């Protein structure tokens, strides 16, 4: 029996080199994008990366039959590895219903800090939406889809900027829950709990002002899948998120089934200077992470493949971080640049399976389903279509056929090869103490 | 995988990780190993994930993730101990072969299934097997026994042996009641019965013992029992609180538990302390429970999967003595039925519940002997025939003692062991007795020991004394099988005679013997209804051995049937001790086992028509050693029943072998064809007379010698070649088959001696030099239908036999070449191959012989 349908809810982590680009399929035509890294020049890092915008344009739902519709775009922070290609997204045919932004860019603009072009385009778009929303509000109307904006977090300099004039309902602060997407109440299947940015860090390093969310996807049978997005936050603030949540009785809001490892699997999530000034492992954070992880929890490293070893000055991903995550979960850390192989990475797709939770969908299974759904001309094809994306580098790879599922048959063959003999060992002799 | 060199590893753990590493390298992402860490108890834990994306979900299977992660615990003494596997999640809880919700059970018995040499390779293969079976819903294939839910037992909590099939809960509610416990010793109790609360309960200890068929001095008491309707999902909890909570899901409240415990505790007082007067009892009496409190808990989770309803799985929770008191208090108040006690009862139950909550669950060890959930280890073997049977073992020595032991272990219902001997030091070398037994009766000592094997199933009796004289004390017909392990010719002859003179069919009889050096054994089998007993079967074995043209039984003849008695007798002790064989405990046990299995096989699957058999086994030493040309291995010979007649003179059995009958019939048919329907024919009989057993064995018959006279009214046995033939047969059979007498036919007339026959009997006309003093006269005849039936189909004719004694000295004169004159002129035929009659005989000149 092969199920041709994938569940209608899930999440896709795109292989985009060392950067974040995550698509959350909420169901009922609602799709959310958290960060974006779409590099037209796919060889920029000599990396095999996904043309995310093209794939979104092809596969997003078209409620009006013509326009691809992205319900929400949320930007954790304005670094290039999180917003690269946003300009292209704006110029594409895709309609972005609502944008979630932090106040950070207003501060940076006023402080005249350098930012990449895509960050500038993002800020321009957010400001356009603030204006449009203010106008609509003035006219006593709701802003239209395409003009909506939500400001997440608090900055002490807010009064200097026009967004401060938005009514309260357009603001969300740490400790709040978002259950509306582009004006639609989706509480029955989606909740986003805001952990950060904290007011206290609004003037700090840009990474420290990252948006941090726990997203809960809820299936119709009550099964919940919990995703934790921590942007590029590092040890002190992550620890604070856990401690604050526990103190406020929100421990369930830091529980996680899938963790997008902060800062592309940077060791800064759990390594920090100790009292002697030397970098040391912060076991307290690992303990917190482990305590709130579900038994089948998985960690995603959205990055290039891991190097052979960490060296001083290397950017993420760090093997130290990978080993630390491995020590608190039962599964290996999934690196988007290595899954299923470094040569031909594919999107990492988790589907929300009723009764089971977020479940990694095998690449071969995805491809099968995508083909079947394409042939059937419908059904819940979004996850499959997104997941079955293949990339130029892979397309040129010789004999790039259907990937083989990771299964017990392959494992069995592996055992035999490792044993060095096809033959099974000798049959049982004797009966022991029976 | 984390670099394992930073860990303190034993050599074995390093090997395990190396092997695991190789598997990961070779399995293209389908096996991954992540975190490796040492634990405080010296184990190394490795997290391994296995791709399961190729396993389609099934209706009955476990729902697996596309990748499944487990933690391997690698012991320090790997590979001499298998690793274990657990999961972090409890998604597999409740599935077969999952213990405590997290531990996957990959091996039923590592002693046989775990191959240290294959190490991690075999282990990961097992893990893959497990996942594949789990996904397919085949962790328990139909017909395979279910893995019992595991309850971690506490060895100090005691031991329970469950003997009787357990009750099951009704669909609408739990089964409540008591188990009848037989306290065997300080730590062990046997469950020998069940009482539902709605059943009438015994009023006294005597009644209780009687109901459970316990001996009069048995210590017995009751234990409260709850059998739930539903499986407890989280196995058997470690704390009483968890247990009570999981029971509450099946509507078994602490109130009910306390009430039942108290009710049973109260009943135990009635049974065990009948004299204690409740009204004047002292506080001490009140505090001391009449019996330990074992709470039995049954869940519907055991049996054969996919085949009928599941059986009850049982565990037992040993409760502190205080449970007795608080339970009784609860029963007396909350369950008293008195309204004024209800409030107090609630208080007691509340207090009792709090108390229960604080207890740990001390699970008793439970051993299952219940027929419904166990299969005997010997169930598909020949020994299964013995179960429930009544067995008599004659002789309690080198063969008898092990055979009796085998019968007891196989579950024979009754066993009588008979021997007149006493244990003496010499036999300890090979018979299962001990120094302390010296001077005691072998039969008694053996019976005592065998009675302890399974007192619930097997009752063993000793019969001390001479077997031949004491046998009459037994009603042999009540037995199903008699083993004659005496190796005693007297006993054998006695049995042969007793068996012959008994009108009712005897039980199966097996006669066992060992050769002079315990290198060979023989079992002679006479099934119920066989014409011959042990003596007979051994005799025909000897004949068959001598007759074998390939000489493959020569070793057997030398050992068991020598033509000259062995001159070197083995007499181990000084004086006039019985001669015996040389052999070790290993030798005699091996032979006893092989012979017993053979006999039981023959009983369980009797060969068609063949009622007598002999099994010959040879040990892998001596004559059948690696360099020997002697045949090895077991060898069977079988025989159908003989044709039986009764000798008119002595009342002896006349047993005519099928070969002899066939020869007589062939000659009768030839005569009918050549000489006419009514011409008599006859010849000699070879065999032996056994006066002790009262049996006349007819082994062979021959046709008429050429100088015989054959007429319609008379048969005269010729002499040509007879002496030579008899001598040859005598030699060929090792003296076993000798001249026995003569046969002739009375075609179409009664098988009765004519006047001539009668006259001839006393003189025994055959003038052989060594003619015996007695000879058998056999007449085959019968009215036309009987006679014709014999000739055409081989059904036995009417037979007349008479063992005649010579009263006249052997005649020295030669036989007359003609029929007696008083018969008048008749047409006569010679014997041999003449195809035409001779002339009618004229009246002789001489007078007739008389």
Spatial distance between the Cα atoms of B67 and A361, rounded to a whole number of angstroms: 9
Radius of gyration of chain B (CA): 40
8 A C-beta contact, residue B395 and residue B418: yes
8 A C-beta contact, residue B265 and residue B328: yes
User: Quick one: what percent of chain B has pLDDT higher than 70?
Assistant: 87
- B762 phi/psi in degrees, rounded to 5: -70, -25
- B160 phi/psi in degrees, rounded to 5: -125, 130
DSSP B345-394: HHHHHHHHHHHHHHSB--BPEEEE--TTT---TTTTSGGGGGTT-EEEEE
Banded pLDDT at B769 (limits 50, 70, 90): low
With CA atoms as reference, report the closest residue to B702 among B741, B673, B672. B741
- Inform me whether the pLDDT recorded for B145 exceeds 70: no
- Inform me whether the pLDDT recorded for B283 exceeds 60: no
User: Given this model, what pLDDT does residue B156 score?
Assistant: 77
- Residues in Cβ contact with B230 at an 8 Å cutoff, skipping those fewer than 6 apart: B249, B250, B299, B300
Mean pLDDT of B162-186: 91
**Chain A residues touching residue B49 (CB < 8 angstroms):** 330-332
Mean pLDDT of A67-94: 93
Spatial distance between the Cα atoms of B267 and B283, rounded to a whole number of angstroms: 18
The residue behind tokens 């929890």 is A297
Say yes or no: B53 contacts chain A, CB-CB below 8 A: yes
- Inform me whether the pLDDT recorded for B442 exceeds 50: yes
With CA atoms as reference, report the closest residue to B327 among B368, B365, B286, B380. B286
DSSP H helical ranges for B515-584: 534-547, 554-560
8 A C-beta contact, residue A414 and residue B31: yes
User: Given this model, what pLDDT does residue B840 score?
Assistant: 58
- Inform me whether the pLDDT recorded for B607 exceeds 80: no
A317 cis-preceded (ω within 30 degrees of 0): yes
- Inform me whether the pLDDT recorded for B350 exceeds 90: no
The CATH class given to the A10-395 domain equals: alpha beta
Spatial distance between the Cα atoms of A202 and A142, rounded to a whole number of angstroms: 29
**Chain A residues touching residue B54 (CB < 8 angstroms):** 405-410
The complex's ipTM works out to 0.82
Banded pLDDT at A400 (limits 50, 70, 90): very low
- A270 Cα to chain B: minimum distance (Å): 17
Spatial distance between the Cα atoms of B499 and B511, rounded to a whole number of angstroms: 13
The residue behind tokens 């539902």 is B196
8 A C-beta contact, residue A332 and residue B29: no
B571-600 pLDDT per residue, tens: 777 766 677 889 999 999 999 999 999 999
User: Given this model, what pLDDT does residue B324 score?
Assistant: 85
With CA atoms as reference, report the closest residue to A229 among A419, A86, A39, A102. A102
B87-135 pLDDT per residue, tens: 988 888 767 777 767 888 888 777 778 888 889 999 999 999 999 999 9
User: Quick one: what percent of chain B has pLDDT higher than 90?
Assistant: 46
Banded pLDDT at B629 (limits 50, 70, 90): low
Banded pLDDT at B46 (limits 50, 70, 90): very high
Spatial distance between the Cα atoms of B416 and B404, rounded to a whole number of angstroms: 9
Chain A, nearest residue to B19 by Cα: A418
8 A C-beta contact, residue A241 and residue A254: yes
- A419 Cα to chain B: minimum distance (Å): 6
Q: Where are the domains of chain B?
A: 4-136, 155-277+284-368, 382-529+579-610, 643-830
Q: Where are the domains of chain A?
A: 10-395
Spatial distance between the Cα atoms of B110 and B126, rounded to a whole number of angstroms: 12
For strands B67-74 and B44-51, give the pairing.
antiparallel
Whole-structure pTM value: 0.71
A303-349 pLDDT per residue, tens: 999 999 888 888 899 999 999 998 899 898 999 999 888 888 888 99
CB-based contact A418 B117, cutoff 8 Å: no
- Inform me whether the pLDDT recorded for B229 exceeds 90: no
8 A C-beta contact, residue B775 and residue B804: yes
User: Quick one: what percent of chain A has pLDDT higher than 90?
Assistant: 58
Banded pLDDT at B745 (limits 50, 70, 90): very high
**Chain A residues touching residue B125 (CB < 8 angstroms):** 412, 415
Q: What would the two tokens of residue B728 be?
A: 């040859």
- Residues in Cβ contact with B244 at an 8 Å cutoff, skipping those fewer than 6 apart: B254, B257, B353, B356, B357
* CATH of the structural domain B382-529+579-610, one choice from 3.30.360.10, 3.40.50.740, 3.30.70.260, 3.40.50.720: 3.40.50.720
Banded pLDDT at A365 (limits 50, 70, 90): confident
- Residues in Cβ contact with B454 at an 8 Å cutoff, skipping those fewer than 6 apart: B408, B409, B411
CB-based contact A425 B25, cutoff 8 Å: no
CB-based contact B65 A1, cutoff 8 Å: no
With CA atoms as reference, report the closest residue to B250 among B349, B329, B176. B176
Mean pLDDT of A346-375: 82
Spatial distance between the Cα atoms of B651 and B694, rounded to a whole number of angstroms: 8
- B263 phi/psi in degrees, rounded to 5: -65, -45
Angle formed by the axes of helices B254-272 and B240-248, nearest 10°: 110
Banded pLDDT at B345 (limits 50, 70, 90): confident
The CATH class given to the B643-830 domain equals: alpha beta
User: Given this model, what pLDDT does residue B570 score?
Assistant: 76
Banded pLDDT at A40 (limits 50, 70, 90): low
Mean pLDDT of B182-196: 94
User: Given this model, what pLDDT does residue B305 score?
Assistant: 39
Mean pLDDT of A86-115: 91
CB-based contact B63 A341, cutoff 8 Å: no
User: Given this model, what pLDDT does residue B101 score?
Assistant: 72
B244-277 pLDDT per residue, tens: 887 887 788 888 888 899 899 989 988 988 776 5
Say yes or no: B17 contacts chain A, CB-CB below 8 A: no
Spatial distance between the Cα atoms of B238 and B247, rounded to a whole number of angstroms: 13
Say yes or no: B108 contacts chain A, CB-CB below 8 A: no
Q: Choose between A211 and B281: higher pLDDT.
A: A211
B800-834 pLDDT per residue, tens: 999 988 766 555 455 566 666 666 667 788 887 77
Banded pLDDT at A434 (limits 50, 70, 90): very low
CB-based contact A414 B30, cutoff 8 Å: yes
CB-based contact B128 A415, cutoff 8 Å: yes
| DSSP secondary structure letter of residue B305 | T
Spatial distance between the Cα atoms of A81 and B343, rounded to a whole number of angstroms: 72
- A195 phi/psi in degrees, rounded to 5: -100, -35
CB-based contact A330 B87, cutoff 8 Å: yes
Banded pLDDT at B681 (limits 50, 70, 90): very high
Helices (H) and strands (E) counted in chain A, each on its own, are 13, 22
Q: Could you tell me how far CA B628 lies from the centroid of its own chain?
A: 33
8 A C-beta contact, residue A390 and residue A42: no
8 A C-beta contact, residue A282 and residue A272: yes
* CATH of the structural domain B4-136, one choice from 3.40.30.10, 3.10.110.10, 3.40.1400.10, 3.40.50.2300: 3.10.110.10
User: Given this model, what pLDDT does residue B279 score?
Assistant: 46
For chains A and B, CB pairs below 8 A equal 158
Mean pLDDT of B227-231: 80
**Chain A residues touching residue B32 (CB < 8 angstroms):** 331-332
8 A C-beta contact, residue B783 and residue B810: no
8 A C-beta contact, residue A364 and residue A402: yes
DSSP H helical ranges for B276-368: 283-287, 322-333, 342-358
Q: What is the end-to-end Cα distance of chain B in Å, rounded?
A: 115
Highest mean pLDDT among A352-361, A389-398, B274-283: A352-361
DSSP H helical ranges for B292-396: 322-333, 342-358
Reduced to 3 states, what is the DSSP secondary structure of residue A22?
strand
- A243 Cα to chain B: minimum distance (Å): 24
Q: What is the end-to-end Cα distance of chain A in Å, rounded?
A: 40
Spatial distance between the Cα atoms of B128 and B52, rounded to a whole number of angstroms: 9
Mean pLDDT of chain B: 85
- Inform me whether the pLDDT recorded for A84 exceeds 80: yes
A137-192 pLDDT per residue, tens: 999 999 999 999 999 998 888 888 889 999 999 999 999 999 999 999 999 999 99
**Chain A residues touching residue B45 (CB < 8 angstroms):** none
8 A C-beta contact, residue B329 and residue B304: no
User: Given this model, what pLDDT does residue A426 score?
Assistant: 55
Mean pLDDT of B176-189: 94
Nearest to A430 among B25, B49, B112 (CB): B112
CB-based contact B28 A404, cutoff 8 Å: yes
- B127 Cα to chain A: minimum distance (Å): 9
Question: Which of B476-480, B555-559, B569-573, B695-699 has the lowest average pLDDT?
Answer: B569-573
Spatial distance between the Cα atoms of B29 and A360, rounded to a whole number of angstroms: 14
- Give A109: exposed, middle or buried? Use CB within 10 Å, 0-12, 13-18, 19+: middle
- Inform me whether the pLDDT recorded for A292 exceeds 90: yes
Angle formed by the axes of helices B784-793 and B658-674, nearest 10°: 110
Question: Which of A254-258, B344-348, B366-370 has the lowest average pLDDT?
Answer: B344-348
The residue behind tokens 């049937």 is B561
């Amino acid at each position: 029996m092969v199920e041709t349908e994938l569940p209608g809810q899930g999440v896709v982590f795109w292989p985009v080199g060392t950067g974040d680009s995550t698509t959350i399929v909420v169901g009922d035509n609602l799709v959310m994008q958290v960060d974006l890294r779409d590099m037209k020049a796919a060889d920029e890092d000599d990396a095999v990366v996904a043309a995310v915008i093209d794939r979104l344009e092809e596969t997003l739902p078209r409620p009006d039959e013509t326009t691809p519709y992205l319900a929400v775009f949320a930007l954790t922070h304005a670094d290039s590895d999180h917003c690269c290609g946003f300009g292209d997204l704006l110029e594409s045919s895709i309609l972005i219903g609502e944008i979630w932004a932090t106040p950070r860019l207003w501060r940076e603009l006023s402080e005249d800090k350098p930012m990449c072009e895509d960050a500038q385009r993002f800020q321009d778009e957010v400001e356009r939406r603030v204006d449009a929303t203010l106008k609509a509000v003035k006219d006593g109307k709701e802003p239209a889809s395409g003009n909506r904006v939500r400001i997440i977090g608090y900055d002490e300099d807010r009064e200097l900027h026009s967004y401060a004039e938005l009514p309260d309902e357009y603001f969300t602060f740490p400790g709040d829950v978002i259950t509306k997407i582009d004006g639609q109440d989706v509480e029955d299947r989606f909740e986003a709990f805001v952990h950060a940015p904290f007011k206290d860090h609004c003037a700090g390093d840009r990474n420290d002002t990252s948006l941090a969310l726990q997203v809960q996807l809820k299936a119709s049978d009550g099964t919940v899948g919990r995703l934790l997005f921590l942007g590029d936050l590092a040890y002190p603030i992550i620890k604070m998120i856990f401690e604050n949540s526990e103190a406020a009785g929100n421990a369930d809001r830091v529980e996680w089934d899938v963790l997008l490892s902060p800062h592309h699997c940077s060791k800064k999530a759990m390594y920090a200077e100790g009292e002697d000034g030397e970098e040391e492992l912060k076991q307290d954070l690992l303990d917190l992470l482990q305590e709130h992880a579900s038994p089948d929890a998985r960690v995603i490293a959205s990055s290039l493949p891991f190097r052979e070893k960490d060296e001083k000055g290397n950017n993420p991903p760090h093997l130290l971080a990978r080993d630390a995550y491995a020590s608190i979960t039962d599964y290996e850390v999934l690196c988007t640049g290595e899954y299923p192989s470094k040569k031909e990475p594919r999107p990492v797709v988790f589907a929300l399976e009723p009764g089971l939770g977020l479940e990694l969908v095998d690449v071969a299974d995805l491809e099968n389903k995508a083909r079947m759904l394409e042939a059937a001309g419908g059904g819940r094809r979004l996850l499959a279509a997104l997941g079955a994306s293949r990339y130029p580098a892979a397309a040129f790879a010789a004999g790039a056929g259907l990937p083989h599922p990771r299964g017990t048959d392959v494992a069995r063959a592996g055992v035999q090869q490792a044993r060095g003999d096809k033959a099974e060992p000798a049959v049982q002799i004797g009966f022991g103490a029976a | 995988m984390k670099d394992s060199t930073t860990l303190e590893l034993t050599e074995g753990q390093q090997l395990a990780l190396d092997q695991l590493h190789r598997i990961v390298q070779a399995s293209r992402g389908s096996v991954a190993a992540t975190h490796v860490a040492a634990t405080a108890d010296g184990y190394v834990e490795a997290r391994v994930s296995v791709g399961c994306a190729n396993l389609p979900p099934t209706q009955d299977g476990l729902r697996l993730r596309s990748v499944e992660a487990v933690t391997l615990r690698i012991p320090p003494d790997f590979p001499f101990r298998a690793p274990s596997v657990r999961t972090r999640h409890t998604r597999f809880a409740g599935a077969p072969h999952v213990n405590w919700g997290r531990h996957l059970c990959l091996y039923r018995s590592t002693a046989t299934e775990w191959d240290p040499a294959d190490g991690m390779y075999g282990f990961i293969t097992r893990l893959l097997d497990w996942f594949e079976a789990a996904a397919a819903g085949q962790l328990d294939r139909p017909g395979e026994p279910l893995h019992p839910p595991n309850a971690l037992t506490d060895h100090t909590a005691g031991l329970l042996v469950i003997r009787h099939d357990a009750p099951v809960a009704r669909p609408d509610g739990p089964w409540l009641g008591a188990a009848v416990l037989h306290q065997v010793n300080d730590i062990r109790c046997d469950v020998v019965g069940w009482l539902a609360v709605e059943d009438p309960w015994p009023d006294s200890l005597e009644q209780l013992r009687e109901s459970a068929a316990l001996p009069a001095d048995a210590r017995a008491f009751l234990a409260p029992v709850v059998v739930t309707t539903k499986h407890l999902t989280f196995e058997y909890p470690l704390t009483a609180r968890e247990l009570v909570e999981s029971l509450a899901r099946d509507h078994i409240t602490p109130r009910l538990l306390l009430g039942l415990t108290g009710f049973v505790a109260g009943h135990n007082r009635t049974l065990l302390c009948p004299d204690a007067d409740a009204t004047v009892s002292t506080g001490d009496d009140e505090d001391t429970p009449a019996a330990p409190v074992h709470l039995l808990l049954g869940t519907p989770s055991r049996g054969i999967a996919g085949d009928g309803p599941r059986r009850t799985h049982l565990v037992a929770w040993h409760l502190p003595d205080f449970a007795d008191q608080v339970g009784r208090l609860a029963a007396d108040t909350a369950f008293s039925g008195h309204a004024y006690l209800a409030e107090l009862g609630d208080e007691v139950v509340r207090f009792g519940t709090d108390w229960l909550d604080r207890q740990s669950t001390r699970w008793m060890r439970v051993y299952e002997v219940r027929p419904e959930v166990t299969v005997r280890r010997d169930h598909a073997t020949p020994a299964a025939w013995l179960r429930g049977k009544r067995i008599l073992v004659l002789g309690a020595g080198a063969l008898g003692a092990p055979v009796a032991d085998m019968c007891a272990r196989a579950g024979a219902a009754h066993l009588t062991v008979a021997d007149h001997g006493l244990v003496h030091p010499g036999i300890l070398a090979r018979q299962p007795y001990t120094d302390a037994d010296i001077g005691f009766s072998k039969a008694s000592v053996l019976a005592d020991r065998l009675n302890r094997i399974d007192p619930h199933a097997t009752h063993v009796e000793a019969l001390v004394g001479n077997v031949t004289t004491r046998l009459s004390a037994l009603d042999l017909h009540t037995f199903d099988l008699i083993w004659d392990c005496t190796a005693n010719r007297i006993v054998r002859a006695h049995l042969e005679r007793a068996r012959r003179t008994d009108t009712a069919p005897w039980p199966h009889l097996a006669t066992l013997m060992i050769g002079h050096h315990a290198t060979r054994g023989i079992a002679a089998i006479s099934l119920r209804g066989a014409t011959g007993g042990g003596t007979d079967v051994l005799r025909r074995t000897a004949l068959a051995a001598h007759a074998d043209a390939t000489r493959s039984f020569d070793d057997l003849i030398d050992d068991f049937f020598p033509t000259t008695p062995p001159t070197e007798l083995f007499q181990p002790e000084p004086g006039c001790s019985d001669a015996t064989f040389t052999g070790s405990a290993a030798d005699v046990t091996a032979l006893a086992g092989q012979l017993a299995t053979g006999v039981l096989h023959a009983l369980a699957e009797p060969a068609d028509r063949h009622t007598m058999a002999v099994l010959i086994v040879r040990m892998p030493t001596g004559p059948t050693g690696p360099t020997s040309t002697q045949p090895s291995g077991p060898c069977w010979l079988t025989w159908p029943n003989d044709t039986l007649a009764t000798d008119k003179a002595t009342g002896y059995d006349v047993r005519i072998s099928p070969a002899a009958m066939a020869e007589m019939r062939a000659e009768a048919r030839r005569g009918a064809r050549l000489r006419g329907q009514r011409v008599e024919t006859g010849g000699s009989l070879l065999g032996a007379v056994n006066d002790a057993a009262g049996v006349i064995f007819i082994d062979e018959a021959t046709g008429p010698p050429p100088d015989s006279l054959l007429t319609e009214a008379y048969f005269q046995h010729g002499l040509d070649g007879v002496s030579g033939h008899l001598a040859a047969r005598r030699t060929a059979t090792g003296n076993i088959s000798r001249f026995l007498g003569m046969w002739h036919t009375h075609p179409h007339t009664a098988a009765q001696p004519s006047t001539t026959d009668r006259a001839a009997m006393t003189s025994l006309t055959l003038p052989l030099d060594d003619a015996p003093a007695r000879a058998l006269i056999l007449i085959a005849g019968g009215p036309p239908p009987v006679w014709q039936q014999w000739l055409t189909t081989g059904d036995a004719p009417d037979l007349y036999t008479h063992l005649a004694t010579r009263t006249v000295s052997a005649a020295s004169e030669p036989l007359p070449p003609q029929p007696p004159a008083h018969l008048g002129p008749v047409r006569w035929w010679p014997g041999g191959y003449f195809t035409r009659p001779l002339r009618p005989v004229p009246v002789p000149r001489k007078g007739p012989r008389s």
